[in-house]
């Protein structure tokens, strides 16, 4: 027995919703409900790998048109200009403030890519039962959960500019399909990280170091 | 602060005295926390529980403030743009409405849910729970509301919208006269309140309140 006992070894389940400690009395997974809040108890989230992979793949499929298609059209005096996510960042960098360009670049490009790479790494390494850098991998998961929703930044920028720039022929901003795909990417990656169960990181091979 | 892990001889009756880490399934023995202290998992470093320095009364007052500020942020215009003497301003509802009419209904629905419906639900539910929690009681519908609050989790995005407003202002500033409106200040205040509530561990309400005997 390892120094730090795990709930599954002691026949216990922790409720994800209210934190109540419940004992498993031989019942099937999925048939148990938390006595305090009534939520269904799971030793591990059901079908975590399949659901997470499916949502991550769907998010990636949405991410391609989100980057290729323009997200916003600016028209002024008959001059039409279509912006993609990347060209928006470049414009901020060149004309506005480079600091803000870095923030938008992080939220729109780095965070989604980080989510794909991080969740992919977590899914593969956990499936193999690897005991490599478990603590750091759990921290990576928490980081993904924490920063995930900040990617909505660009979607809100397009929405706000569309509502504000309504000067008819002189100046007009319109949303283009890319922004819808980008919004869906963010929502799908958020669902994907919710479906992953970080407890799977700690299953498999015994730790060698503790 | 780290908690010492328990030995293997714990039995189920002592379940209240235990905490299970939701990120690595490690069982910990619960220690009473002083104000402002945080219990962390010894194995993976996740926060097990947090003792807030704020009482139910303070939190209720903050929730009422949040409700007022939220109403102002939603109803008042956020910024005004000027071009050749023409002026256009926009409230949150203008934003949602233009996205709906401009063939981006998905974005309109996302914005309406994450910037209006969910935050408002969160404020009302928390207010209701805290109203009763002041005297250590559980509000009617306590169980359902607590579970719903947990599920709402990351789906309120007002703080992201504030950053989005700043980026929009900088972008618009290149071509238009930009004037901040009261809505943006209300959003700034709302952001402060969100930061305060981010440090509150709501699951403690389960322990701090008791069911009323019928």
Angle at A35 between CA A34 and CA A37, to 5 degrees: 65
Q: How many CB pairs under 8 A join A and B?
A: 224
Segment B28-39 mean pLDDT: 86
Q: A76 with A10, same domain?
A: no
What ipTM was reported for this prediction? 0.89
CA atoms of B176 and A97, how far apart (whole Å): 16
Locate all alpha helices (DSSP H) within chain A, ordered by sequence.
Answer: 7-10, 48-68, 85-95, 98-105, 111-127, 134-147, 153-164, 177-195
Q: What are the residue ranges spanned by the domains of chain B?
A: 12-50, 56-208
CB burial string B33-60: b at 16+ within 10 A, e below: beeeeebbbbbbbbebbbebebebeebb
CATH number at residue A139: 1.20.140
State the pLDDT at residue A113.
Answer: 93
CA atoms of B78 and B180, how far apart (whole Å): 7
Q: A2 with A93, same domain?
A: no
The pLDDT confidence band at residue A125, using thresholds 50, 70 and 90, is very high
State the pLDDT at residue B4.
Answer: 42
State the pLDDT at residue B6.
Answer: 45
pLDDT in tens, B161-196: 999 999 899 888 888 999 999 999 999 999 999 988
CA atoms of B165 and B178, how far apart (whole Å): 12
pLDDT tops 50 at residue B10 = no
State the pLDDT at residue A99.
Answer: 87
CA dihedral over A129, A133, A139, A143, signed as positive or negative: negative
Provide the token pair at B172: 């618009």
Q: A107 with A31, same domain?
A: no
Q: Which helix (H) or strand (E) holds B169?
A: helix B158-173
Does A73 reside within a domain?
Answer: yes
Q: A56 with A123, same domain?
A: yes
Domain that holds residue A189: 47-202
How close A60 comes to chain B (CA, Å)?
Answer: 18
Interface test with A, best of B25, B45, B87, B144 (most A CBs within 10 A): B25
Contact residues, B window 89-118, toward A, CB-based 8 Å cutoff? 89-90, 94-99, 102-104, 106-108, 110-111, 114
Q: A27 with A70, same domain?
A: no
CB atoms A180 and B90 under 8 Å: no
The pLDDT confidence band at residue B213, using thresholds 50, 70 and 90, is low
From chain B, pick out residues whose CB is under 8 angstroms from the CB of A103.
Answer: 163, 167
- Between residues B8 and A10, which one has the greater pLDDT? A10
pLDDT tops 70 at residue A207 = no
Q: A128 with A64, same domain?
A: yes
Of A67, A53, A54, the C-alpha closest to A151 is A67
Q: A128 with A30, same domain?
A: no
CA atoms of B169 and B93, how far apart (whole Å): 18
State the pLDDT at residue A132.
Answer: 85
From chain B, pick out residues whose CB is under 8 angstroms from the CB of A157.
Answer: 164, 167-168, 171
Does A31 reside within a domain?
Answer: yes
CA atoms of A158 and A172, how far apart (whole Å): 12
How close B25 comes to chain A (CA, Å)?
Answer: 5
Q: How many domains does chain A have?
A: 2
Q: A126 with A100, same domain?
A: yes
CA atoms of A70 and A175, how far apart (whole Å): 9
Q: A79 with A105, same domain?
A: yes
Does A209 reside within a domain?
Answer: no
CA dihedral over A155, A158, A160, A163, signed as positive or negative: negative
Residue that has been written with the tokens 């901040």 in this structure: B180
Q: A89 with A156, same domain?
A: yes
Q: A94 with A195, same domain?
A: yes
Does A207 reside within a domain?
Answer: no
Query: What is chain B's percent helix, strand, coil content, to nearest 5?
Result: 55, 15, 30
Percent of chain B with pLDDT over 90: 55
pLDDT tops 90 at residue A50 = yes
Does A167 reside within a domain?
Answer: yes
Adjacency order of strands within the sheet including B79-83? B86-90, B79-83, B177-180
Question: For residues B168 and B184, is the Cβ–Cβ distance under 8 A?
Answer: no
Segment A132-139 mean pLDDT: 90
Q: A65 with A132, same domain?
A: yes
Does A14 reside within a domain?
Answer: yes
Strands (E), chain B: 18-20, 27-29, 38-40, 47-50, 79-83, 86-90, 177-180
Residue that has been written with the tokens 């916003």 in this structure: A72
pTM of the predicted protein model? 0.89
Does A210 reside within a domain?
Answer: no
How close A190 comes to chain B (CA, Å)?
Answer: 9
């Amino acid at each position: 027995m390892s120094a730090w006992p795990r709930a599954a070894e002691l026949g216990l389940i922790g409720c994800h919703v209210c934190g109540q400690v419940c004992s498993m009395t031989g019942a099937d997974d999925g048939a148990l409900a938390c006595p305090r809040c009534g939520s269904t108890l799971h030793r591990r989230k059901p079908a975590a790998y399949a659901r997470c992979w499916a949502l991550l793949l769907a998010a990636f499929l949405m991410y391609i048109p989100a980057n290729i298609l323009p997200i916003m059209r600016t028209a002024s005096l008959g001059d039409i200009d279509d912006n993609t996510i990347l060209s928006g960042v470049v414009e901020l960098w060149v004309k506005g403030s480079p600091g803000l360009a870095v923030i938008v670049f992080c939220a729109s490009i780095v965070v989604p890519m980080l989510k794909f790479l991080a969740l992919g790494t977590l899914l593969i390494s956990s499936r193999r039962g690897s005991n490599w850098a478990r603590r750091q991998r759990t921290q990576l998961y928490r980081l993904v959960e924490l920063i995930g929703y900040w990617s909505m930044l660009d979607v809100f920028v397009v929405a706000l500019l569309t509502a504000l720039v309504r000067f008819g022929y002189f100046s007009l901003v319109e949303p283009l399909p890319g922004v819808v795909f980008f919004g869906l990417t963010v929502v799908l990656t958020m669902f994907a990280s919710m479906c992953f169960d970080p407890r799977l990181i700690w299953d498999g091979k015994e730790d060698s170091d503790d | 602060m780290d908690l010492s892990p328990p030995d293997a001889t714990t039995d189920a009756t002592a379940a209240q005295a235990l905490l299970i880490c939701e990120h690595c399934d490690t069982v910990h023995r619960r220690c009473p926390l002083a104000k402002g202290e945080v219990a962390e998992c010894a194995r993976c470093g996740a926060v097990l529980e947090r003792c807030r320095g704020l009482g139910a009364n303070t939190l209720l007052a903050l929730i009422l403030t949040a409700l007022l500020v939220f109403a102002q942020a939603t109803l008042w215009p956020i910024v005004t743009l000027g071009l050749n003497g023409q002026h256009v301003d926009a409230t949150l509802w203008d934003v949602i409405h233009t996205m709906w009419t401009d063939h981006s209904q998905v974005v309109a629905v996302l914005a309406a849910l994450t910037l209006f419906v969910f935050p408002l639900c969160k404020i009302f539910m928390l207010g209701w729970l805290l109203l009763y929690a002041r005297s250590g009681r559980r509000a009617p519908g306590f169980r359902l509301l607590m579970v719903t609050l947990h599920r709402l989790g990351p789906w309120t995005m007002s703080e992201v919208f504030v950053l989005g407003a700043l980026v929009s202002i900088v972008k618009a500033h290149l071509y238009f006269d930009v004037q901040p409106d009261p809505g943006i200040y209300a959003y700034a205040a709302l952001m402060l309140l969100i930061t305060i509530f981010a440090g509150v561990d709501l699951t403690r309400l389960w322990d701090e309140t008791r069911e009323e005997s019928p």
